[in-house]
Structure 1
Amino acid sequence: MSRLTIALDIMGGDNGPHIIFPAALTALQQTPHLHFIFCGPLNVMSLWLNQQLPNIQARITLSDCPQIVTMDDAPTHALRYKKNSSMRRVLDLVDKNEADACVSGGNTGALICMAYYVLKTLPGIDRPALITLVPTINNGKVYFLDLGANINCDSEVLFQYAVMGSVLAEQISHIKQPRVALLNVGSEDIKGNDQVKQTSRLLTDSQNINYIGYVEGNDIFSQKADVIVTDGFAGNIALKSWEGLVNFAIQEFKKASQHNLWSKIVANIAMPLFRGIYLRMKPDQYNGASLIGLRGIVVKSHGNASSEAFLYAIREAIQQVEMQVPDKIKGKIEAVLMERHE
């Protein structure tokens, strides 16, 4: 199997190297043909690498980056003044084909801004989108985009999101003719703003997309669709609401279980069932939002991700490389454009 190289932004996220190093080590143990390029301060990376076995050391290259993009950096400031940062370096490595993909848990706005500038979008794509998997009933999953890359999207951009989401569902989840839906305030044709209605018309007219119509917010987890499309404003709110609801349920269960002796007994009996539900809904295992639509593969990890969650982001990058996702999106977009000109 040919070598697969992923560049990691070691300083990205709230926890930085503390969670990234263990995740990278696990990924190397699980994937024999995987190599990493660590990007960050040399002294921090060398200290960890010197503690590893020689066979692990041989599969890691260090790239010294004296600058760090902080969570408070404005995207344009980071783009202009942080050219020697770990975030910028991972993108440059993908652009130069020295890495097959990159993963960062850093400042989302800065990453999107830098990635758009360095990698550019694929022909026929106006803007990249953040997409992730969300759990649904009956052990299903749905691809959900955009998660916040673009707050304001016109109908053409939303149409392109639908195409890209369809490709990802097809290639990564192996779903033939994935069902694509638009998030709306109602399922009836008369509902929604002009932007959503115009997007719906574009999708209805396309022979390359299996469009099924509108879904509402309470349908996100219903398994009615394989891909759900919305703008970054609504998408980010929906995603954060899901994460908050899971955490709320955990805290309420813990509080209720300590109410009295009887509640403690009931909680112990119900714990295996609750734990199974929690593991199914836990956002960690869905960490790794892909910034799709670019000429290279960029995966955004949650800034507060655990080591386990960051490992999922690395796995997402590996899958996209193996499935050659940018090439597949490019081919699908070309087919759609050709269809429109016929």
Structure 2
Amino acid sequence: MKKRLAIDAMGGDFAPQSVVEAVKMGLEQFPDIQFTLFGDETKIRPYFPEENHNLIIVHTTEKIDSGETDPVRAIRQKKTSSMVMAANAVKDGTVDAMISAGNTGALLASGIFVVGRIKQIERPGLMSTLPTLDGKGFDMLDLGANAENTARHLHNYAVIGSFYAEEVRGIKKPRVGLLNNGSEVGKGAPLQKEAYELIAADKNLNFIGNVEARDLLSGVADVVVADGFTGNAVLKSIEGTAENLMKQLKMSINTGGIRSKIGAVLMKKSLYHLKDALDYEKAGGAVLFGLKAPVVKSHGSSNADAILATIKQTRKMLETEVVTSLKTHYREENQ
């Protein structure tokens, strides 16, 4: 059975080129996916000179710009934009999931107000798989979908994050940690203390307690739960640290003389391994998890390889039917 995937072809810093190049690779690698591209056909069609039964192009010249400051107003006013049309295709059931590298706020609004959330989940969370030094990675949410959260929201994030880690990433009984300012029981603000009690009381979760930000990249947990403000701050810190570390290494090699350059040649494989280990985009995009269907956000600066990784990730979500499993879990819980 075909997996039907909607792509916002006009979203992202390098759209539509990076998007359509990723789709071209996807058409070759995944014959079980039918791609529907929403965007300016005059800019998209030249990349696909030959007809392909797994490719549909829906023409629209309207798009939501990255600089939109009111995302809710943007999706209401720009109903024929590539992002909103893709979200409506998910809502109508003509596609199974959508990907966009466009405006994050607008995509969150499209996901919540157009695609719709699972009834029992009050606040869907933005979740991404981040790198660890052992290469296994960890899933973290919320990464900024919500500036404020309640303890019940954090418990929901523990549940849905655990579902994703087990169903999509194949981790049995994933270790769930609550991000806090200390690992001891009783640490943190009232929000973290209340969330700790709720998560610890859920016997379906493999809760390991509080975890600290300094231990995240060492693989202390498989799923890390945080409020949206804190999660976003930690994400940006990890991204910035990784980027600046690689810049500093490159600068040191270039200015260190002949010995540094020879050393860099000898350590080339190790340096590439380090770069790959710190590359969060290889794991795919950020999932707005808790919706009725997969909605996945690629980084705005994603190249074709990064968007292809997001396509692989979304395909895996559809293959494992993780959203269906999550819906079933909440239905059974409320019976």
TM-score normalized by the length of structure 1: 0.94
Cross-structure match for 1:284: 281
Cross-structure match for 1:154: 150
- Aligned partner of 1:207 among 203, 209, 233: 203
Cross-structure match for 1:64: 59
- Aligned partner of 2:268 among 242, 247, 271: 271
The 3-state SS of whatever aligns with 2:267 is helix
Cross-structure match for 1:43: 42
- Aligned partner of 1:314 among 303, 308, 311: 311
- Aligned partner of 1:185 among 171, 174, 181: 181
Gaps in structure 1 of 5+ consecutive residues: none
The CA distance in 2 between the partners of 1:80 and 1:42, in whole Å, is 23
CA contact (8 A) 1:121 1:128 kept: yes
Could you tell me which amino acid in structure 1 is paired with residue 93 of structure 2?
N
Structure 1 residues 207-254: Cα deviation after superposition (integer angstroms, max 9, x where no partner): 221111000001111222110000111111111211111211111111
The CA distance in 1 between the partners of 2:247 and 2:205, in whole Å, is 41
The CA distance in 2 between the partners of 1:174 and 1:265, in whole Å, is 41
Q: Runs of 4 or more off by more than 6 Å in structure 1?
A: none
The 3-state SS of whatever aligns with 1:299 is strand
The question of 1:247 aligning with 2:230 is answered no
Structure 1 residues 1-20: Cα deviation after superposition (integer angstroms, max 9, x where no partner): x1111010000011111101
The CA distance in 2 between the partners of 1:191 and 1:170, in whole Å, is 28
Once structures 1 and 2 are overlaid, which stretch shifts more, 240-249 or 23-32?
240-249
Could you tell me which amino acid in structure 2 is paired with residue 333 of structure 1?
Y
Cross-structure match for 2:326: 329
Cross-structure match for 1:140: 136
CA contact (8 A) 1:297 1:317 kept: yes
The CA distance in 2 between the partners of 1:265 and 1:223, in whole Å, is 33
The 3-state SS of whatever aligns with 1:274 is helix
The CA distance in 1 between the partners of 2:281 and 2:220, in whole Å, is 23
Cross-structure match for 2:88: 92
CA contact (8 A) 1:65 1:84 kept: yes
The 3-state SS of whatever aligns with 1:213 is strand
Cross-structure match for 1:217: 213
- Aligned partner of 1:115 among 89, 93, 111: 111
RMSD, aligned CA: 1.3
Number of aligned residues: 333
The CA distance in 1 between the partners of 2:103 and 2:181, in whole Å, is 31
The question of 1:261 aligning with 2:258 is answered yes
Structure 1 residues 121-146: Cα deviation after superposition (integer angstroms, max 9, x where no partner): 11210011111111223332211111
After superposition, the Cα gap between the structure-2 partners of 1:337 and 1:155, relative to the gap in structure 1 and judged at 3 Å, is farther
Cross-structure match for 1:126: 122
Identity of aligned residues (%): 33
The CA distance in 2 between the partners of 1:189 and 1:14, in whole Å, is 44
Once structures 1 and 2 are overlaid, which stretch shifts more, 35-44 or 137-146?
137-146
CA contact (8 A) 1:167 1:332 kept: no
CA contact (8 A) 1:206 1:336 kept: no
The question of 1:298 aligning with 2:295 is answered yes
**1:333 shift after superposition:** 2.6
Gaps in structure 2 of 5+ consecutive residues: none
Could you tell me which amino acid in structure 2 is paired with residue 10 of structure 1?
A
Cross-structure match for 1:230: 226
Could you tell me which amino acid in structure 2 is paired with residue 323 of structure 1?
T
The question of 1:28 aligning with 2:27 is answered yes
Structure 1 residues 282-309: Cα deviation after superposition (integer angstroms, max 9, x where no partner): 1220231111100111010000111100
**1:48 shift after superposition:** 2.5
After superposition, the Cα gap between the structure-2 partners of 1:207 and 1:336, relative to the gap in structure 1 and judged at 3 Å, is farther
The 3-state SS of whatever aligns with 1:176 is coil
CA contact (8 A) 1:163 1:333 kept: no
Could you tell me which amino acid in structure 1 is paired with residue 39 of structure 2?
G
The CA distance in 2 between the partners of 1:64 and 1:316, in whole Å, is 26
The question of 1:101 aligning with 2:97 is answered yes
**1:176 shift after superposition:** 1.9
Could you tell me which amino acid in structure 2 is paired with residue 307 of structure 1?
A
